[in-house]
Structure 1
Amino acid sequence: MPRTEDRTRPSTSANLPKGGGPEASLIRIARATMNFSPEEKLGRGGFGDVYRGTLTQPKVVVAIKRVAKDSRQGKEYVAEVNVISRVRHRNLVQLVGWCHERGELLLVYEYMPNASLDAHLYGGSNPLPWPTRYSIAWGVVAALLYLHEDPITLEMLLLPDPSTN
């Protein structure tokens, strides 16, 4: 019986990078997150939930963005994989892998401990001192300058990939 295409999202496989971050299997990611356990959920991002996972071989903790099943963000997913897999800056989180399998769209990032920046800036009983906030702001500025002034990165961000249209 021929396999039916998943109609909830645009086809993305053909447009994913061949060398920018390895493809990870759904089984490996599900194991790393204890089958997307609520205990491993770190929060919710723009396109879906984010989980902490522990990969084996090598043993490394990662953050896994699981694009919501009802999302139609296929093109945005492809763009994120293609751009972020090639971007390298000390103030930007690194994409270390991706998965597009059985209707799942997953992005695997390096894990940044100590909660979100938002939690440190706006929450809790122990607010960050102003010199630390200032330093963080300069780090954000450095990353934005890199993204907007590096000609190759700027081209990747601004020019649409004709193969995704």
Structure 2
Amino acid sequence: MTISLDVNGERHTVTASPDTPLLYVLRDDLQLNAAKYGCGLGQCGACTVHVDGNAVFSCLTPVAATVGRRVTTLEGLGTAEKPGILQQAFIDEQAAQCGYCIAGMIMRAQSLLSYNPSPSDEEIRQHMQPNLCRCGTHYRIIRAIKRASAVLANHQNKGDAT
């Protein structure tokens, strides 16, 4: 079946079964490799992307469920040359050790900051709970989210567009 998708603001047409996991289409058809296959059961969060701004497990989301909706991957937040605010905060806080979970962590954190730009530590912990980091960089991840929150608040106070 031919399926039309809006991914990172661009229109893509793929041929896939409607029940194909979004993760497979992103990685195999669109070569967007930031989202990782972790468990395939929605228990680790390595595959987290946004659908209409909400964090979802792309390993569990059928591609057909994204038709007519906006899909955003880590690649849609910034580039290596010009990282987004949250990506830069993760770099500055050295939040990645092995890096496998980081794309999913950033995407989940981005969804938090989009509706709560100034979360408490407890709100961060609660929101990030579905995503696992086996390397134990949780404290650095929390610091990165707090750093991004502060940068966003500074931009907002100055009236900058983010």
> Is the pair's TM-score, using the shorter chain for normalization, greater than 0.5?
no
The normalised TM-score by structure 1 is 0.31
Whose strand fraction is larger, Structure 1's or Structure 2's?
1
The normalised TM-score by structure 2 is 0.31
Which of the two has higher C-alpha Rg? 1
